Structure 1
Amino acid sequence: MGRLRSATVLASRTAELLVLAVSAYQSAVTLGGYLKRRGKDAPAGPPPAWRPRFALVVCARDEERVVGRIVGDLLGQEYPSELRDVFVAAHNCTDRTAEVARASGAEVIDVHSAVPGKALAIRAALERLGDGYDFVGVFDADARAEPGLLRAIAGRGPGADCLQAETVPIGDPEWIAEGYGFGRKARNLFWWQPRDALGLGTTISGCGWFVRPALLRAELPNVTTLTEDLELSVRLALRGVPVTYVSDARVAVGEARDLRTSVRQRLRWVRGHLLVVARYWPALAWRAARGDVRALDLAVYLLVPTRMLTRLGASLVALHALTRRAGALPMAVALPVAAAEWLVPGIIAIRERLLTLNRRGIELALRHGVLSLLWFPIGIWALLTARVQAWDHSRRTPEEVPDGERAAGR
């Protein structure tokens, strides 16, 4: 009986130490990257001797009411017109998407497939592209692109094989969309920007990413999950290719505006995430064990993709320590880590004015917290149905987002 008790205490302490280690790591990355970023000079403009040529691919499925906006944004870039071409991959469309895109100035690629997924639309576009492009850029049809997007990407392009623009929420006052939009801005500030400053790289985020054509042609045929962005990110990491984050190149994306759409969308994301973990995590962990720091960071992300998990875990460990029961970790170990989980992002959020200390700001933060709790039941259901490969399409219309609005800011 005594041996069983000792083994249980050892297992409990080991698990709690692992939780604290991951939590402390995430807090250190957030704080270290933030401080380093604040000390950096403004990024230099693109080298005049090198201007990459872009093939810009918009993936669209029944998006006739919004596709013209993103095509117009990309054709209106502050970048030489002879160095960019816009293609729209109209995937299984049953409306006038292709006609509207063509009238807006894009070259249209009609794609028809029995299997769902954005990867098929991108693959069809790749087959149509000629040679001579330095980067392929991928966009969603309901996104908006700032006029200086390509100029900023070009400035970080030399030496990079894959780049991800910062995605920000489109200004949308709807209750659910605004709450999730707050979370997107928080993730940029606490997660991606610090990793960029520390040279850790990021992941492809579905829209506004750019990659070398040869690399995309080599890897895309092997991408089979419905989270093609995450799977491609991991495959690139296994090749030693980081995803460079470009925070001064922004693409505004829409958020789900109703609970049903949000749940279906996030259910697909979690299912795809779980499949990526099952297929690639051992190889990624092996690469990390051989000294690849970026692979280690990505391996940690695959297992703990949100600070909600580390914050909950560190807080529970701290509460256990406060009880001073047998097997609890010392308070001097648990409490500082738990405090960092709350204080580091909180102080940064206030300093960067993501969180305003008024009724409006607190209400928005609480709203985001409530919506974030939905990840737990969604995650459980996704775990039970991980093999389901279902793509539930959700459309956005100009009526949902005013046509004049673009990025809502960082």
Structure 2
Amino acid sequence: MQPIEWVYVVIFTAMIFSSTLWLILYMSRRDEVHSDPEPSALPSITFLVPAYNEEGYIQDCIDSILSVDYPEDRLEVVAVDDGSTDSTLEKLRSYGDEIRVVSKENTGKASSINTALEEVDTDVVGCLDADSTISNDFLKSMVGYFEREDVKGVTPAMRIEEPESLAEMAVWVEYVYNLFLRKLFSLFDSQFVMPGPGSLYDTDFLKEIGGWDEDTLTEDMEIVFRMVENGALIKNSTNAEAVTHSPSTFSGLLRQRSRWYRGNFWNMVRYRNAIMNPKYGNFGAFILPWNLFYAGMVVFITGHLLYRMGDFVVSSLTGPVLLNLSLPGIQALSMFHMFQLAIVALGGTMLAITVKTAPDGMSFRNRKAEIGIFMAAYAFIYSMFWIKAGKDLVAGSDVGW
């Protein structure tokens, strides 16, 4: 075989292995996908809400916390206005004694939540982005996990607000698909992000590891390395729903993902000793190497496909081109056809499971167009994210909130 063929053998084998692993994990523990442990007692909780120019969303965010099904004397809210230039601070102060408000100069999200963390003395602390809301049963679905001593963080099920643009539709499907994968990562003790919309932490543990890193682009990813390094387990609830917003245009989505992927890149560089390190468990042994492999794989396949398409166009302009549109017979099926069939079958099975396990509010049944967009274009779009991130890394582009 040619070298390029060996590359594809490695790629196909890795894809089949990982898909099979997740399917086996799901089949062996599917009863846990939608079940959460009942808490024997309700811990005290403080929600931190960092906000910068969020006048359009901040009241919905605060209202969702105040209306959650949880004892009022066990729940506090600390909102941090990070030097907003709109009416965010005024809207926060309108809540009076219902919440605590901290006003500071603009120094970024991580700095804001660290400032608020200093005032927290409850058992559990949560972080909720100002453009997000939580479901009524959010907290009672999550807090039971903390009764296990080594659990120091719990993540929710995330989805975006009702999508309208093509970019939002693609992200909507991605989030619902990731809902299923995040639960599997939780069962495999290998979650790699504590999302800003709604993640909960053990307060004492969070303070012990120094809170959120203020020098990284992605504090919600970086903190996982330190949590796992210090022996923490991170669990996930598919019943606790956090609703957030996504960029409405592909240009906005590119900017957002460029920041995420650059942050991920620098985290991998900074914590490169975690890769294949037994101290980091399945997170270091499997998830980190797979993330590196997957990013390279998608960029490689997309680049090779574009090269072949370009070669075809050039050939068609310089001479006659013969197209073979016939399907191969069974005897003519190559190893690559068999690999492709296996990947399609496994991918289809995982998609079917995702459709089956998605909560009612995240149903795929009326989202056929979104599914088509996601499945057809995701590899190309994902590659563009990494290319954009690489360009911005070289250019040293600035990022903010």
> Which TM-score applies when normalising by structure 2?
0.79
Residue aligned with 2:144, SS: helix
Distance, in Å, in 2 between the alignment partners of 1:228 and 1:51 is: 28
Deviation at 1:43, TM superposition (A): 2.5
1:29 Cα deviation after fit: 3.1
- The structure-2 alpha-carbon separation of the partners of 1:192 and 1:291, relative to structure 1 and needing over 3 Å to count, comes to closer
Does the Cα contact within 8 Å between 2:59 and 2:92 map onto a contact in 1?
yes
Q: CA deviation at 1:254?
A: 1.0
Q: Equivalent residue of 2:47, what SS?
A: strand
- Give, in angstroms, the shift of residue 81 of structure 1: 0.9
Pair 1:391-2:399 in alignment: yes
Contact map agreement 1:34 1:193 (CA 8 A) in 2:
no
Tell whether the 8 Å contact from 2:276 to 2:285 is kept in structure 1 after alignment: no
Shift of 1:371: 5.5
1:367 aligned onto 2:381: no
Match of 2:352 in 1: 350
Residue in 1 that maps onto 2:287:
298
1:325 aligned residue: none
User: Secondary structure of the residue that 1:165 maps to in structure 2?
Assistant: strand
Q: 1:262 to 1:187 in 2, by over 3 A?
A: same
Q: Find 1:195's aligned residue among 177, 185, 192.
A: 185
Kindly tell me: are residues 184 and 63 of structure 1, through their superposed partners in 2, closer, same or farther at Cα, counting changes over 3 Å?
A: same
Structure 1 residues 74 and 241: alpha-carbon distance in aligned structure 2, compared to 1, 3 A threshold:
same
Q: Percent identity?
A: 18
User: Contact 1:36 / 1:198 at 8 angstroms: preserved in 2?
Assistant: no
Aligned 8 A contact 2:157 2:237 in 1: yes
The correspondence of residues 134-149 of structure 1 with structure 2, limited to 5 A, is 134-149=123-138
Alpha-carbon spacing, 1:41–1:184, altered in 2? closer, same or farther (3 Å): closer
Residues 1:248 and 1:307: Cα distance change in structure 2 (over 3 Å) = farther
Give the counterpart letter for 1:365 in structure 2. I
| CA displacement 1:2-24 (0-9 Å, x = unmatched) | xxxx9x95x974x5554345323
Equivalence for 1:285:
275
**Cα deviation 1:199-232 (Å, max 9, x = unaligned):** 4445212321111223322233645211111111
Q: Distance in 1 between matches of 2:52 and 2:275?
A: 36
Contact 2:298 2:379 in 1 (8 A): no
**Corresponding position: 1:168 with 2:168:** no
Where 2:43 maps in the other structure, the secondary structure is: coil
> Bigger CA drift: 340-349 or 161-170?
340-349
Say whether the 8 Å CA contact 2:81–2:103 is kept in structure 1.
Answer: yes
Residue 202 to residue 335, structure 1, CA distance change in 2 (3 Å): farther
In structure 2, what is the Cα distance between the partners aligned to 1:206 and 1:43? 23
1:27 aligns with 2:19: yes
Q: Given residue 398 of structure 2, which amino acid in structure 1 is its aligned partner?
A: A
Letter in 2 for 1:193: K
Q: Distance in 1 between matches of 2:18 and 2:197?
A: 25
Query: Which structure 2 residues correspond to residues 89-238 of structure 1 after superposition, within 5 A?
Result: 89-104=80-95, 105-113=98-106, 115=107, 117-129=108-120, 131=121, 133-159=122-148, 160-189=151-180, 191-217=181-207, 218-220=209-211, 222-238=213-229
CA-to-partner distance for each residue in 1:129-165, whole Å, 9 max, x for gaps? 2x2x111100111111000001011122212111111
SS of 2:390's equivalent in the other structure is helix
User: Does the residue aligned with 2:355 lie in a helix, a strand or coil?
Assistant: coil
Q: Is 1:309 aligned with 2:311?
A: no
Matches within 5 A, 1:69-108: 69-104=60-95, 105-108=98-101
In 1: Cα distance, 2:75 partner to 2:388 partner: 43
SS in 2 for 1:161: strand
Cα separation, 2, equivalents of 1:331 and 1:371:
26
Aligned to 2:325: none
- Distance in 2, matches of 1:198 and 1:312, equals 28
Report if aligned partners of 1:267, 1:378 keep a CA contact under 8 Å in 2.
Answer: yes
2:330 maps to which residue? none
- 8 Å Cα contact 1:277/1:302 also seen in 2: no
Q: For the structure 1 residues 253 and 220, does the alpha-carbon distance in structure 2 shift closer, same or farther, using more than 3 Å as the test?
A: same
Q: Calculate the TM-score normalised by the size of structure 1.
A: 0.78
Deviation, structure 1 residue 337: 4.7
CA distance in 1, matches of 2:293, 2:103: 38
What SS class does the counterpart of residue 23 from structure 1 fall into? Answer: helix
Q: Deviations over 1:46-92 (max 9, x none)?
A: 233x2111110111111112111111111111111111101111112
Summarize the Cα distance change of 1:373–1:44 in structure 2 as closer, same or farther, 3 Å threshold. closer
Q: CA deviation at 1:273?
A: 1.3
Q: Which runs of 5+ in 2 are unaligned?
A: 309-332
Cα pair 2:61 2:132 within 8 Å, conserved = yes
CA shift, 1:248, in A, is 1.5
- Residue 386 of structure 1 aligns to a residue whose secondary structure is helix
Q: Distance in 2 between matches of 1:312 and 1:272?
A: 23
1:256 aligns with 2:264: no
Q: Does the CA-based 8 Å contact 1:285-1:296 persist in structure 2?
A: yes
Counterparts of 1:357 and 1:77, CA distance in 2: 26
Work out the CA distance in 2 between the residues paired with 1:84 and 1:134. 10
2-side partners of 1:339 and 1:307: how far apart?
22
Q: Which has the higher contact order (CA 8 A, sep 6+)?
A: 1
CA contact (8 A) 1:304 1:310 kept: no
Q: 2:236, 2:195 → 1: CA distance?
A: 10
